[in-house]
């Protein structure tokens, strides 16, 4: 049976499918933090490619050099006890590879957690990014405005996103500016980034947390400081005011489009306490907790057969085998 036809068709299909894929956004950075992450990814890929190249080269060399031939038919190699230097070499090389990757990864993680180099002395623009089912709210306390499902930021200025959630855990991610970080309901997490060139970028929720997960996308638009100031002023003058009752209805609405407001919900719904850590205040900020209850964590829809029963007495002897139990015997849990 000729297998070349199906294999060729499969290869052609993969080629056509891959040709329609867009470029990887994580490898198209628009800021120093994303560039650091991109360089780390590329370094790791090149290092793994180098390892594979060496392994496959040695594999082909061994197959070629020691293949069976008519000229050496019946040949039996002499017994060897091994070579301790070779043993040390192929044990040390993997340790060295892991050590190099570990050092690079740790340095990268520390670097992207801090304010990007060269921007340490600038005042960051603080933006509260909060998620609700299934949307993103962006509050600008410095400007006194708020947006939904889109965020505009100035270029060449450090941005400090303060993340939290009104429901289940979400993951805030703008691939071209930074890696992802979780937004949780009872604590603030911070993400520092800078956009060093203007442009529109896609942001999304990178954590699968329910049926509306696929709709939690937003636009991040980087613009010059002059354009940013003009946009802020335009929102203040034209956007409606966000009332507390309207905000509660907004939290209850599953899917909405882009929205703008001339004030922030932080005035009547403060975020969780920023000094909250695990093991501290379980509920965080009381006002935030009241609004968070609009979207509590999903409850279990079914009860197990043991939910309404007491636990089995640990002192009760167990039968050796189920077949040896009396027909009238019932487990305490049933």
Q: Which of 105-114, 267-276, 298-307 shows the highest mean pLDDT?
A: 105-114
Residue 240 CA to residue 263 CA, distance in Å, equals 8
Q: How far is CA 259 from the centre of its chain?
A: 25
pLDDT of residue 1: 47
Express each pLDDT in 13-66 by its tens digit: 555 554 444 568 899 999 999 999 999 999 999 999 999 999 999 999 999 888
CA distance 247 to 131: 13
Label residue 10 by pLDDT band (50, 70, 90).
Answer: low
- Region class of 49: left (phi > 0), else alpha (psi between -120 and 50), else beta: alpha
Average pLDDT taken over every residue of the chain: 82
Residue 7's pLDDT is: 55
Give per-residue pLDDT as tens, 212-270.
888 899 999 999 999 999 999 999 999 999 999 999 999 999 889 999 999 999 999 99
Q: What mean pLDDT do residues 300-327 have?
A: 44
The fold of 123-259 is Immunoglobulin-like (2.60.40)
Distance of CA 64 to the CA centre of its chain: 45
Beta strands 217-223 and 145-148, pairing class: unpaired
Choose among 233, 265, 237: nearest CA to 249: 265
Q: How far is CA 124 from the centre of its chain?
A: 23
Task: Identify the pLDDT of residue 310.
Answer: 43
Please report how many Cα atoms fall inside a 13 Å half-sphere around the Cα of residue 46, on the Cβ side: 7
Residue 92 in this model has a pLDDT that exceeds 90: yes
Give the mean model confidence (pLDDT) for residues 149-172.
Answer: 96
Span 81-97, mean pLDDT?
A: 91
- What's the rounded Cα separation, in Å, for the pair 196 and 260? 25
Which tokens hold the place of 279?
């093991």
The pLDDT assigned to 200 comes to 97
State what percent of residues in the chain have pLDDT above 70: 75
**In 3D, which of 199, 207, 178, 202 has the Cα closest to residue 190?**
178
pLDDT value of residue 294: 56
Cβ atoms of residues 172 and 93 within 8 Å: no
Instruction: Give per-residue pLDDT as tens, 174-214.
Output: 999 999 999 999 899 999 999 999 999 999 999 998 888 88
pLDDT tens-place string over residues 288-301: 655 665 554 444 34
Whole-number Å distance between alpha carbons of 122 and 222: 18
pTM of the entire predicted model: 0.74
Residue with tokens 């189920």: 322
The DSSP line for 172-237 is EE-TTT---EEE-SSS-EEEEE---S-EEEEEEE-S--STTGGG-EEEEEEE-HHHHHHHHHHHHH
Which long-range contacts (C-beta less than 8 Å, at least 24 apart) are formed by 95-98? 97/47, 97/51
Q: Where exactly does CATH 2.60.40.420 map onto the chain?
A: 123-259
Q: Above 50 in pLDDT, residue 284?
A: no
The confidence band for 69, taking pLDDT boundaries of 50, 70 and 90, is confident
Instruction: Assign 257 to helix, strand or coil.
Output: coil
């Amino acid at each position: 049976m000729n297998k070349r036809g199906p294999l060729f068709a499969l290869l052609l299909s993969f080629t056509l499918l891959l040709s329609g894929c867009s470029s990887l956004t994580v490898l198209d950075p628009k800021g120093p933090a994303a560039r650091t992450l991109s360089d780390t990814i590329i370094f790791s890929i090149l290092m793994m490619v180098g390892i594979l190249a060496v392994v496959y080269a040695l594999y082909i060399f061994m197959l070629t050099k020691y293949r069976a031939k008519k000229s050496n038919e019946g040949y039996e190699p002499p017994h060897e006890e091994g070579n301790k230097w070779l043993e040390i070499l192929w044990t040390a090389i993997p340790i060295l590879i892991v050590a190099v990757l570990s050092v690079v990864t740790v340095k990268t993680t520390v670097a992207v957690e801090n304010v990007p180099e060269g921007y340490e002395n600038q005042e960051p623009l603080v933006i509260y990014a909060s998620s609700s089912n299934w949307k993103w709210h962006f509050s600008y306390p410095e400007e006194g405005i708020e947006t939904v499902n889109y965020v505009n930021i100035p270029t060449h200025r450090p941005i400090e996103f303060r993340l939290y959630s009104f429901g289940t855990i979400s993951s805030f991610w703008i691939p071209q500016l930074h890696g992802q970080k979780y937004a949780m309901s009872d604590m603030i997490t911070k993400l520092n980034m800078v956009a060093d060139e203007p442009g529109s970028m896609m942001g999304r929720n990178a954590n699968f947390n329910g049926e509306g997960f696929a709709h939690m996308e937003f636009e991040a638009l980087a613009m010059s400081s002059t354009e940013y100031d003009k946009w802020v002023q335009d929102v203040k003058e034209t956007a409606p005011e966000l009332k507390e009752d309207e905000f509660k209805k907004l939290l209850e609405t599953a899917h909405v489009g882009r929205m703008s407001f001339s004030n922030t919900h932080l005035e009547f719904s403060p975020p969780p306490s920023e000094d909250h850590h695990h093991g501290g205040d379980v509920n965080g900020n009381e006002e935030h907790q009241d609004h968070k209850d609009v979207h509590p964590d999903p409850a279990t829809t079914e009860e197990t057969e043991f939910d309404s029963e007491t636990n089995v007495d640990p002192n009760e002897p167990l039968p050796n085998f189920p077949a040896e139990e009396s027909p009238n015997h019932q487990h305490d849990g049933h």
